[in-house]
Amino acid sequence: MSTAKEELTRLIQKQPDDSSSEDIVRELAFHVMVQRGLADSDAARAVSNEEMGRRIRSWPK
């Protein structure tokens, strides 16, 4: 298993040479958010689309 630093370094190296700092930071942030979401899903800390729809419909208008 690779370290976070190694994983993010690989991700940065995959970016085009003309990427801006903002592009790279955005890609890193997206990667971290996806990893968190997958970890939440694996740990059963997620709700189904149906449940989320029910929750949204219950919000006051």
Domain map (residue ranges) of the chain: 4-57
Stretch 35-44: mean pLDDT, rounded? 95
Q: What's residue 61's pLDDT?
A: 86
| Mean residue pLDDT across the chain | 95
Q: What is the mean pLDDT of residues 6-25?
A: 96
Which one-letter amino acid corresponds to residue 50? Answer: E
Contacts of 23 (CB under 8 A, 6+ apart): 15
Token pair in block for residue 26: 């955005």
Average of pLDDT values for 25-41?
A: 96
pTM: 0.74
Q: Answer whether residue 24 shows pLDDT above 90.
A: yes
